Structure 1
Amino acid sequence: MELNKIFLGDCLEILKQIPSNSIDAVITDPPYASGGRSLSEKTLPPSKKYEQSDNKIVHRPDFFGDTKDSRSWLHWCVMWISECQRILKDSGYFLMFTDWRQLPTATDAIQMADLIWRGVIAWDKGLGSRAPHKGYFRHQCEYIIWGTKGQCKKAIHSGPYPGCLKFPVLQKDKFHLTGKPTALIEELIKIVPEENIILDPFIGSGTTAVAAKKHNRNFIGIEKSEIYYKIAMERLK
């Protein structure tokens, strides 16, 4: 599999083409399939669920895979995470973003895929995060489930790493409807030394690739949406 390239297509098909025991870390932000309390709300387009009605500065394209219920989302996650487990080298890292609703299911998924769940990293988005009303706690944090394929070896190049990361979402740095700050991903890729290989099966607007390229890590990215694939390729230029 060619390094430092983003592939357009379904990750369940493309992951099968990557050799076993060849990747140092998986860092990815899959569809949460989370927003909404009822079936009708869950099946709305992502832009209806995640764009704040009072913040329509930029409308970003929708993406695939966000309308599953909890059981089908779990089944789907176990399928692609199992492929990641096969692809990872021994002691390789697996990091996956999720929110509070899917946090329990996400931790089940990585263990069902035969990875060792090591913990949860909190991403603090800041006090700009929304709350329905004054009696409510803000949805201020999202989470990164992390684990390893087997033993978690002692790192020589860096660490220990912070278990809580605070990076605000900046509109000028947001290229995807649910895009994460580039600086946040730059912090996460420190888990592997320079020239190691990072895989992102849901690379979206290419933030993992941009961070890897900036800090001398190799990457393989996969994106199903042609719109976001083109955005990612433009950013890499």
Structure 2
Amino acid sequence: MAFQQQTIGPATLYCGDSLEILRELNEPVDALITDPPYSSGGMNHGTRTQSPGVKYIKNSKYHDFFGDNRDARSWAFWMTQWLSQTRRLVKLGGYAMVFSDWRQLPTLTDVLQAGGFIWRGVVPWDKTASSRAPHTGYFRHQCEYVVWGSVGTLIKCRHGGPWPGLMQKRVIPSEKLHMTGKPVELMEQLIKPVIPGGIVLDPFMGSASTGVAALRQGYRFIGIEMSQEYFDISCQRLEKIYLTF
């Protein structure tokens, strides 16, 4: 299988389909931390098959991304496939942390377990009242969620903890390089339970916010991204961080 690979200091980046590349990887990792496509926008076939930019933002300035057009059953099947491949790579006692919105939260708790991980909880991410407001009859959708678990037993952490069960960080649009990009500071908080100096795997790297957080905190990073545009952005971003640190 041909795919593009780039090594930047402690980071190894791949451009291609995650499921195919994961099958080729053999290096054990200490944590899976990722934000896969949710495929949650749209209530019918017509709206589900629209591009992410049209579905979520309208007139988006960002590049579109792949894999956001599955219905609920095909999304669950696909998620189980790649989670099973990452389960093979994550070490005993390692972490899995996967982002979701409210629509896919119930299914994600199922597929994490179907993929072979032990489900251990949900960490809400409060985007604060600065999140996009619905009309006045709604509660704000100001939270996304991190479904987390482990491979086998979690031993007592020797470098800190217990870690916060709720994280609050507002999104600053001017800092985003990806339509669904997560704040680097949020990712730094999520990485903290992982053994210092360990390897963090992100099969849906996007613009590499997880990679930036990993390098800043002294971790190694393996990232996969299907979009050439976002792969190039990630390489540039991590090269800058590597030269800085």
TM-score calculated relative to the size of structure 2: 0.91
Which of 29, 35, 43 does residue 29 from structure 1 map onto?
35
Which of 5, 9, 22 does residue 12 from structure 2 map onto?
5
Residues 77-107 of structure 1: CA deviation (Å, up to 9, x unaligned): 0000001111010011000000000001111
User: Percent identity, aligned pairs only?
Assistant: 49
Which of 34, 40, 47 does residue 41 from structure 1 map onto?
47
Structure 2: distance between partners of 1:196 and 1:132: 40
1:103 alignment partner in structure 2: 105
1:215 alignment partner in structure 2: 217
Written as runs of structure 1 = structure 2, the 5 A alignment for 1:46-57 is 46-51=52-57, 53=58
Q: CA deviation at 1:114?
A: 1.4
Q: How many residue pairs are counted as aligned between the two chains?
A: 232
Structure 1: distance between partners of 2:24 and 2:183: 29
Does structure 1 conserve the Cα–Cα contact (< 8 Å) formed by 2:30 and 2:195?
no
One-letter identity of the residue aligned with 1:129: S
Which of 75, 82, 85 does residue 83 from structure 1 map onto?
85
Which of 59, 75, 80 does residue 61 from structure 2 map onto?
59
Structure 1: distance between partners of 2:12 and 2:51: 29
Q: Which segments of 5 or more consecutive residues in structure 1 lack a partner in the other structure?
A: none
SS at match of 2:111: helix
Written as runs of structure 1 = structure 2, the 5 A alignment for 1:99-178 is 99-178=101-180
Give 4+ residue runs of structure 1 displaced > 4 Å after superposition. none
Q: Which segments of 5 or more consecutive residues in structure 2 lack a partner in the other structure?
A: 240-245
Structure 1: distance between partners of 2:160 and 2:56: 35
One-letter identity of the residue aligned with 1:151: T
Q: CA deviation at 1:125?
A: 0.5
Structure 2: distance between partners of 1:127 and 1:68: 30
Structure 2: distance between partners of 1:184 and 1:132: 24
TM-score calculated relative to the size of structure 1: 0.94
Does structure 1 conserve the Cα–Cα contact (< 8 Å) formed by 2:204 and 2:224?
yes
Structure 1: distance between partners of 2:132 and 2:183: 17
Structure 1: distance between partners of 2:98 and 2:16: 20
Superposition CA RMSD, Å: 1.5
2:242 alignment partner in structure 1: none
Structure 2: distance between partners of 1:158 and 1:86: 27
2:23 alignment partner in structure 1: 16
Structure 2: distance between partners of 1:194 and 1:132: 41
Structure 1: distance between partners of 2:216 and 2:55: 32
Structure 1: distance between partners of 2:138 and 2:82: 35
Structure 1: distance between partners of 2:221 and 2:132: 33
Structure 1: distance between partners of 2:175 and 2:195: 25
Structure 1: distance between partners of 2:120 and 2:196: 23
Structure 2: distance between partners of 1:233 and 1:97: 23
